Amino acid sequence: MTPKERVLTALACREPDRVPLDYSSNPGIDRRLKAHYGLSPDDDEGLRLALGVDFRWVDVDYVGPRLHPEIPGRRVNDQWGIRTRWIEHESGGYWDFCDFPLKEADEETVAAWPMPSPDDYNYKVVPEICDRYREYALFTGGAGLCDIINSTGMLRSMEEVLVDLITDNPAGLLLIDRKIEIHLEITRRTLEAARGKIDFLWMGEDLGTQISPIISLDLFRKHIRPRHQKFVDLAKSFDLPVMVHTCGSSSWAYEDFIEMGVDAVDTLQPEAVNMSPEYLKKTFGGRLAFHGCISTAGPVATGTPEDVIANVRETLEIMMPGGGYCCAPTHQLQDNSPTENVIAMYETAREYGRY
């Protein structure tokens, strides 16, 4: 099978020739992997070929004006005004969200907040990307597409977003809906520009902590599901499968996902409540496809290569029967993951993931 055929077969909950593989990482481990394979630091495609990755992303670049000014000591997103600061840690560092400029904003302030126009993106690159990677499973969107709680929290704070949803705060809901409608139109134009060459839509919403849901099912159905349904319906109008990224204990929402027309779920942190491979396969196998399950907080980060091999083999033994599984890290591989562990993960998946 080609990578495209392999992924689409898995997303349809059938058995391909081998389990599809995907990759996502933080910069530190990414550089070390490229060095291991003798690749230049910017050779993203070379690394994906070395690992056997079956997926490729179709994205459009923003070409409009800078909408938000730079601030000393901060990194400011030019389109949305999200602010981050650099935080060092022992294995590297990361950009942490801060300031939350719309935390106390009223409706008038939210309505006036500069946001990008769907006109200000370069859709002309889409056919070229699709042709270049035509053998691979092509998706647009990603874990942040349509995300309500996290992405709105980057401007308003997570706490304030949750309060907005509970209290039906008009300012918070306006911020959510302004972003949603812009992303929906960008996605529509991207799919139109692809002319049938994009294979599935990827969207996301983090719905759980390690031990419980973040919000109630009633609140999900009131505010999250109707907004997500717009993206699912858009994908279905192009006859595309839909995959939803959900962090933490999120399987409580999967029956609703199935009713909505979602085909696959991503992340699948095995240490979270009701997210083990056994539970997911038994409860949803054949009705949802799975993408993830290899914990970036588990043996890949904390064990030996032998531990990783055992973990990947056990996951494959549970998830492979009947098809519907794509092997991938639960989140971006972290910089504290030993290089040899990540290599062991992909080598094991390629060796033991064949049907």
Per the domain annotation, does 71 fall within a domain? no
pLDDT reading at 92 higher than 90: no
Q: How confident is the model at residue 90 (pLDDT cuts 50, 70, 90)?
A: confident
Separation of alpha carbons 130 and 135, rounded Å: 9
Share of the chain above pLDDT 70, in %: 100
3-state secondary structure 168-188: CCHHHHHHHHHHHHHHHHHHH
Per the domain annotation, does 79 fall within a domain? no
Per the domain annotation, does 43 fall within a domain? yes
Q: How confident is the model over 106-131, as a mean pLDDT?
A: 98
pLDDT reading at 25 higher than 90: yes
State the total domains in the chain: 1
pLDDT reading at 254 higher than 90: yes
- Inter-residue contact 138 to 158 (CB < 8 Å): no
Q: How confident is the model over 20-34, as a mean pLDDT?
A: 97
The whole-number pLDDT of residue 271 equals: 97
Tens-place pLDDT, residues 274-309 = 999 999 999 999 999 999 999 999 999 999 999 999
Tens-place pLDDT, residues 234-252 = 999 999 999 999 999 999 9
Separation of alpha carbons 80 and 315, rounded Å: 39
Tens-place pLDDT, residues 185-201 = 999 999 999 999 999 99
Q: How confident is the model over 43-48, as a mean pLDDT?
A: 98
The whole-number pLDDT of residue 204 equals: 97
Separation of alpha carbons 298 and 343, rounded Å: 15
Separation of alpha carbons 330 and 41, rounded Å: 24
Tens-place pLDDT, residues 163-182 = 999 999 999 999 999 999 99
Per the domain annotation, does 128 fall within a domain? yes
Separation of alpha carbons 127 and 306, rounded Å: 43
pLDDT reading at 91 higher than 90: no
Number of neighbouring beta carbons within 10 Å of residue 32? 17
Residues paired with residue 354 on neighbouring β-strands, in sequence order = 18
The CA R_g of the chain, rounded to the nearest whole Å, is 20
Per the domain annotation, does 179 fall within a domain? yes
The whole-number pLDDT of residue 89 equals: 84
Residues paired with residue 264 on neighbouring β-strands, in sequence order = 243, 289
Query: Is 0.95 surpassed by the pTM of this model?
Result: yes
Number of neighbouring beta carbons within 10 Å of residue 318? 19
Residues paired with residue 25 on neighbouring β-strands, in sequence order = 333
What 3-state class would DSSP assign to 69? coil
Q: How confident is the model over 109-134, as a mean pLDDT?
A: 98
Which residue range is the domain that position 242 belongs to?
Answer: 3-65+103-352
Average pLDDT value over all residues in the chain: 97
Per the domain annotation, does 84 fall within a domain? no
Q: How confident is the model over 81-109, as a mean pLDDT?
A: 94
pLDDT reading at 108 higher than 90: yes
Per the domain annotation, does 88 fall within a domain? no
Can you list the alpha helix ranges (DSSP code H) found in 77-224? 107-112, 125-132, 149-156, 158-167, 170-194, 217-219
Separation of alpha carbons 320 and 325, rounded Å: 6
Per the domain annotation, does 85 fall within a domain? no
Q: How confident is the model over 29-48, as a mean pLDDT?
A: 98
CATH number of the CATH domain containing 316: 3.20.20.210
pLDDT reading at 134 higher than 90: yes
Q: How confident is the model over 118-141, as a mean pLDDT?
A: 98
